[in-house]
Copies of this chain bind each other. A is one copy, B any other.
Amino acid sequence: MTFIEKLSAAWSANNSLLCVGLDPDVARFPLHLQGQPDAIFTFCKEIIDATAATACAFKPQIAYFSAIRAEDQLEAICDYLRKNYPQIPIVMDAKRGDIGATAEQYAREAFERYGADAVTVSPYMGFDSVAPYLEWKDRGAIVLCRTSNAGGSDLQFLTVDGVPLYQHVARLVADKWNTNGQCALVVGATFPQELAQVRSIIGEMPLLVPGIGAQGGDIQATVNAGKTANGTGMMINSSRAILYAKPDQAAGEDYAQAARRVAEETRDAINRFRI
Protein backbone atom coordinates (compact mmCIF):
# COMPACT_ATOMS: atom_id res chain seq x y z
CA MET A 1 0.00 0.00 0.00
CA THR A 2 1.43 3.41 -0.92
CA PHE A 3 1.51 6.46 1.31
CA ILE A 4 -1.33 8.09 -0.61
CA GLU A 5 -3.46 4.93 -0.45
CA LYS A 6 -2.80 4.57 3.27
CA LEU A 7 -3.70 8.20 3.84
CA SER A 8 -6.93 7.88 1.84
CA ALA A 9 -7.90 4.79 3.81
CA ALA A 10 -7.22 6.60 7.12
CA TRP A 11 -9.35 9.58 6.05
CA SER A 12 -12.24 7.17 5.50
CA ALA A 13 -11.72 4.75 8.39
CA ASN A 14 -11.36 7.43 11.05
CA ASN A 15 -13.61 9.98 9.31
CA SER A 16 -10.91 12.55 10.06
CA LEU A 17 -8.55 15.00 8.37
CA LEU A 18 -6.70 15.66 11.63
CA CYS A 19 -2.93 15.11 11.69
CA VAL A 20 -1.53 14.92 15.23
CA GLY A 21 1.89 16.54 15.41
CA LEU A 22 4.38 15.07 17.88
CA ASP A 23 6.63 17.95 19.01
CA PRO A 24 7.68 16.70 22.44
CA ASP A 25 9.00 19.62 24.49
CA VAL A 26 10.14 18.04 27.76
CA ALA A 27 9.83 21.34 29.63
CA ARG A 28 6.06 21.24 29.03
CA PHE A 29 5.59 17.61 30.11
CA PRO A 30 3.55 16.68 33.20
CA LEU A 31 5.71 16.80 36.32
CA HIS A 32 5.56 13.05 36.96
CA LEU A 33 7.29 12.41 33.62
CA GLN A 34 10.06 14.94 33.96
CA GLY A 35 13.45 13.41 34.67
CA GLN A 36 12.31 9.93 33.58
CA PRO A 37 14.72 8.32 31.08
CA ASP A 38 12.01 7.40 28.56
CA ALA A 39 9.80 10.41 29.23
CA ILE A 40 9.48 11.32 25.55
CA PHE A 41 8.46 7.84 24.49
CA THR A 42 5.98 7.50 27.36
CA PHE A 43 4.46 10.93 26.70
CA CYS A 44 4.10 10.33 22.95
CA LYS A 45 2.79 6.78 23.44
CA GLU A 46 0.01 8.02 25.71
CA ILE A 47 -0.83 10.85 23.29
CA ILE A 48 -0.89 8.35 20.41
CA ASP A 49 -3.16 5.90 22.25
CA ALA A 50 -5.50 8.74 23.22
CA THR A 51 -5.75 10.28 19.74
CA ALA A 52 -5.29 7.43 17.24
CA ALA A 53 -9.01 7.00 16.70
CA THR A 54 -9.30 10.65 15.68
CA ALA A 55 -6.21 10.96 13.45
CA CYS A 56 -5.52 10.46 9.75
CA ALA A 57 -1.74 10.79 10.33
CA PHE A 58 0.91 11.27 13.01
CA LYS A 59 3.68 13.75 12.35
CA PRO A 60 6.79 13.56 14.56
CA GLN A 61 8.98 16.67 14.35
CA ILE A 62 12.49 15.28 14.28
CA ALA A 63 14.21 18.43 15.62
CA TYR A 64 12.71 17.88 19.07
CA PHE A 65 14.47 14.53 19.23
CA SER A 66 17.78 15.40 17.61
CA ALA A 67 18.31 18.46 19.83
CA ILE A 68 18.50 16.25 22.92
CA ARG A 69 20.04 12.97 21.67
CA ALA A 70 16.67 11.20 21.70
CA GLU A 71 16.75 9.47 18.31
CA ASP A 72 16.32 6.13 20.09
CA GLN A 73 13.01 7.32 21.53
CA LEU A 74 11.88 8.47 18.08
CA GLU A 75 12.71 5.00 16.76
CA ALA A 76 10.68 3.46 19.59
CA ILE A 77 7.73 5.76 18.85
CA CYS A 78 7.77 4.89 15.15
CA ASP A 79 8.03 1.17 16.00
CA TYR A 80 5.09 1.54 18.36
CA LEU A 81 3.03 3.30 15.69
CA ARG A 82 3.78 0.72 13.01
CA LYS A 83 2.96 -2.21 15.31
CA ASN A 84 -0.15 -0.82 16.96
CA TYR A 85 -1.60 1.55 14.36
CA PRO A 86 -0.30 0.28 11.01
CA GLN A 87 -3.25 1.83 9.21
CA ILE A 88 -2.22 5.40 10.19
CA PRO A 89 0.61 6.93 8.13
CA ILE A 90 3.70 8.38 9.79
CA VAL A 91 4.85 11.71 8.34
CA MET A 92 8.42 12.51 9.39
CA ASP A 93 8.66 16.28 9.61
CA ALA A 94 12.31 16.89 8.76
CA LYS A 95 12.22 19.45 5.90
CA ARG A 96 15.28 17.91 4.32
CA GLY A 97 16.88 19.37 1.20
CA ASP A 98 20.26 18.41 -0.26
CA ILE A 99 21.96 17.12 -3.42
CA GLY A 100 21.20 13.62 -4.69
CA ALA A 101 23.92 11.57 -2.95
CA THR A 102 23.07 13.20 0.38
CA ALA A 103 19.31 13.05 -0.21
CA GLU A 104 19.70 9.28 -0.60
CA GLN A 105 21.07 9.21 2.94
CA TYR A 106 18.21 11.34 4.27
CA ALA A 107 15.72 9.04 2.52
CA ARG A 108 17.31 6.06 4.28
CA GLU A 109 17.02 7.93 7.57
CA ALA A 110 13.30 8.65 7.16
CA PHE A 111 12.13 5.49 5.40
CA GLU A 112 14.52 2.72 6.51
CA ARG A 113 15.64 3.81 9.98
CA TYR A 114 12.34 5.30 11.16
CA GLY A 115 10.00 3.49 8.77
CA ALA A 116 8.09 6.68 7.97
CA ASP A 117 5.49 6.69 5.19
CA ALA A 118 6.38 10.21 4.06
CA VAL A 119 8.87 12.97 4.79
CA THR A 120 8.70 16.74 4.42
CA VAL A 121 11.28 18.25 2.03
CA SER A 122 12.34 21.69 0.83
CA PRO A 123 12.07 22.59 -2.88
CA TYR A 124 14.93 25.13 -2.88
CA MET A 125 17.53 22.79 -4.40
CA GLY A 126 15.22 21.54 -7.14
CA PHE A 127 13.94 18.27 -8.48
CA ASP A 128 17.12 16.22 -8.25
CA SER A 129 17.13 16.93 -4.49
CA VAL A 130 13.61 15.44 -4.21
CA ALA A 131 13.92 12.55 -6.66
CA PRO A 132 15.84 10.20 -4.30
CA TYR A 133 12.82 10.10 -1.95
CA LEU A 134 10.59 9.14 -4.87
CA GLU A 135 12.77 6.10 -5.55
CA TRP A 136 10.98 4.60 -2.55
CA LYS A 137 7.83 3.87 -4.54
CA ASP A 138 5.49 3.23 -1.62
CA ARG A 139 6.53 6.38 0.29
CA GLY A 140 5.74 10.06 -0.09
CA ALA A 141 7.57 13.38 -0.35
CA ILE A 142 5.71 16.38 1.04
CA VAL A 143 7.20 19.52 -0.50
CA LEU A 144 7.21 22.91 1.26
CA CYS A 145 5.08 25.34 -0.74
CA ARG A 146 3.55 28.15 1.38
CA THR A 147 4.53 28.01 5.04
CA SER A 148 2.55 29.33 7.98
CA ASN A 149 5.27 31.49 9.57
CA ALA A 150 5.46 35.24 9.10
CA GLY A 151 8.83 35.05 7.32
CA GLY A 152 7.38 32.59 4.80
CA SER A 153 6.59 35.59 2.60
CA ASP A 154 10.27 36.59 2.31
CA LEU A 155 10.84 34.18 -0.59
CA GLN A 156 7.52 32.45 -1.19
CA PHE A 157 5.70 35.68 -2.03
CA LEU A 158 8.25 36.98 -4.52
CA THR A 159 6.75 37.41 -7.99
CA VAL A 160 7.87 34.97 -10.70
CA ASP A 161 6.24 35.22 -14.14
CA GLY A 162 3.42 37.22 -12.62
CA VAL A 163 2.62 34.81 -9.78
CA PRO A 164 4.05 34.33 -6.29
CA LEU A 165 6.91 31.82 -6.04
CA TYR A 166 4.81 29.41 -3.93
CA GLN A 167 2.32 29.03 -6.81
CA HIS A 168 5.21 28.35 -9.14
CA VAL A 169 6.36 25.60 -6.74
CA ALA A 170 2.84 24.14 -6.63
CA ARG A 171 2.76 24.03 -10.43
CA LEU A 172 6.26 22.53 -10.70
CA VAL A 173 5.38 19.73 -8.29
CA ALA A 174 1.97 19.06 -9.86
CA ASP A 175 3.14 19.18 -13.49
CA LYS A 176 6.69 17.82 -13.33
CA TRP A 177 7.80 16.32 -10.02
CA ASN A 178 4.74 14.23 -9.14
CA THR A 179 5.06 11.74 -12.01
CA ASN A 180 4.30 8.72 -9.83
CA GLY A 181 1.65 10.27 -7.57
CA GLN A 182 3.90 10.28 -4.49
CA CYS A 183 3.97 14.01 -3.73
CA ALA A 184 2.00 16.26 -1.42
CA LEU A 185 2.48 19.93 -0.49
CA VAL A 186 2.80 21.92 2.74
CA VAL A 187 0.51 24.97 2.74
CA GLY A 188 -0.19 26.84 5.96
CA ALA A 189 -3.69 27.41 7.33
CA THR A 190 -2.87 31.02 8.07
CA PHE A 191 -3.52 32.05 4.45
CA PRO A 192 -6.84 30.48 3.29
CA GLN A 193 -6.98 32.42 0.00
CA GLU A 194 -3.54 31.13 -0.90
CA LEU A 195 -4.59 27.61 0.11
CA ALA A 196 -7.48 27.92 -2.37
CA GLN A 197 -5.09 29.10 -5.09
CA VAL A 198 -2.86 26.08 -4.50
CA ARG A 199 -5.83 23.71 -4.53
CA SER A 200 -6.91 25.13 -7.89
CA ILE A 201 -3.43 24.41 -9.29
CA ILE A 202 -2.79 20.90 -7.96
CA GLY A 203 -6.03 18.97 -8.45
CA GLU A 204 -6.46 16.17 -5.92
CA MET A 205 -2.91 16.15 -4.52
CA PRO A 206 -2.92 15.95 -0.70
CA LEU A 207 -1.98 18.96 1.41
CA LEU A 208 -0.29 19.00 4.80
CA VAL A 209 -1.75 22.06 6.50
CA PRO A 210 -0.07 23.35 9.67
CA GLY A 211 -1.18 26.49 11.41
CA ILE A 212 -4.46 25.73 13.16
CA GLY A 213 -4.51 25.41 16.95
CA ALA A 214 -1.58 27.20 18.58
CA GLN A 215 -0.77 29.05 15.35
CA GLY A 216 -4.28 30.51 15.08
CA GLY A 217 -5.57 29.52 11.63
CA ASP A 218 -9.34 29.53 11.10
CA ILE A 219 -10.78 26.02 10.65
CA GLN A 220 -13.82 26.90 8.52
CA ALA A 221 -11.81 29.01 6.09
CA THR A 222 -9.07 26.37 5.95
CA VAL A 223 -11.39 23.47 5.16
CA ASN A 224 -13.40 25.43 2.59
CA ALA A 225 -10.23 26.55 0.83
CA GLY A 226 -8.31 23.30 0.85
CA LYS A 227 -10.71 20.36 0.58
CA THR A 228 -11.11 18.28 -2.55
CA ALA A 229 -14.47 17.51 -4.19
CA ASN A 230 -15.05 14.51 -1.91
CA GLY A 231 -14.29 16.51 1.24
CA THR A 232 -10.81 15.11 1.90
CA GLY A 233 -7.38 16.00 0.46
CA MET A 234 -5.90 17.48 3.64
CA MET A 235 -3.85 16.51 6.68
CA ILE A 236 -4.74 19.41 8.97
CA ASN A 237 -2.06 19.43 11.62
CA SER A 238 -2.32 20.41 15.24
CA SER A 239 0.63 19.80 17.57
CA ARG A 240 0.93 21.96 20.66
CA ALA A 241 -2.82 22.58 21.12
CA ILE A 242 -3.29 18.80 21.50
CA LEU A 243 -0.05 17.78 23.25
CA TYR A 244 -0.31 20.46 25.91
CA ALA A 245 -4.10 20.64 26.12
CA LYS A 246 -4.46 20.19 29.85
CA PRO A 247 -5.36 23.53 31.37
CA ASP A 248 -4.50 24.17 35.01
CA GLN A 249 -8.14 24.38 36.02
CA ALA A 250 -9.02 20.91 34.65
CA ALA A 251 -7.41 19.22 37.63
CA GLY A 252 -9.46 16.04 37.32
CA GLU A 253 -8.33 15.36 33.75
CA ASP A 254 -4.95 13.94 32.84
CA TYR A 255 -2.91 15.18 29.88
CA ALA A 256 -3.82 12.27 27.59
CA GLN A 257 -7.54 12.65 28.33
CA ALA A 258 -7.22 16.37 27.62
CA ALA A 259 -5.38 15.62 24.38
CA ARG A 260 -8.14 13.21 23.31
CA ARG A 261 -10.82 15.79 24.08
CA VAL A 262 -9.07 18.52 22.04
CA ALA A 263 -8.31 16.09 19.19
CA GLU A 264 -11.97 15.04 19.04
CA GLU A 265 -13.14 18.65 19.15
CA THR A 266 -10.73 19.58 16.38
CA ARG A 267 -11.72 16.61 14.21
CA ASP A 268 -15.40 17.51 14.71
CA ALA A 269 -14.80 21.19 13.97
CA ILE A 270 -13.09 20.18 10.73
CA ASN A 271 -15.84 17.72 9.81
CA ARG A 272 -18.55 20.35 10.16
CA PHE A 273 -17.18 22.07 7.05
CA ARG A 274 -16.11 19.10 4.94
CA ILE A 275 -19.32 18.41 3.01
- Chain A contacts to B: CB under 8 angstroms: 23, 61, 63-64, 66-69, 71, 95-103, 105-106, 108-109, 112-113, 122-131, 144, 147-156, 158-161, 165, 168-169, 172
Contact = CB atoms under 8 A, between A and B. Distances in A.
A97 B63 CA distance: 10
B168 A151 contact: no
Contact of A98 (B63, B102, B108, B113): B63
A101 B67 CA distance: 12
A155 B153 CA distance: 15
A155 B128 CA distance: 12
A258 to B, nearest CB: 21
A184 to B, nearest CB: 16
Given A155-B165, A165-B155, A124 B102 contact: no
Contact of A61 (B102, B130, B131, B168): B102
Nearest to A98: B95
Given A95-B97, A97-B122, A151-B125, A68 B158 contact: no
Contacts of A123: 124, 154-155
A96 B95 contact: yes
Contact of A128 (B68, B95, B126, B149): B149
Contacts of A144: 97, 124-125
Given A126-B156, A128-B151, A155-B126, A97 B97 contact: yes
Contacts of A130: 151
Contacts of A147: 99, 124-126
A133 to B, nearest CB: 12
Contacts of A165: 155, 158, 160, 165
A215 to B, nearest CB: 9
Contacts of A71: 66, 69, 71
Contacts of A151: 125-131
Contacts of A158: 160-161, 165, 168
B154 A106 contact: no
A151 B101 CA distance: 13
Nearest to A101: B23
Nearest to A131: B151
Contact of A149 (B96, B113, B129, B156): B129
A66 B149 contact: no
A95 B103 CA distance: 11
A126 B152 contact: yes
A102 B23 contact: yes
Contacts of A131: 151
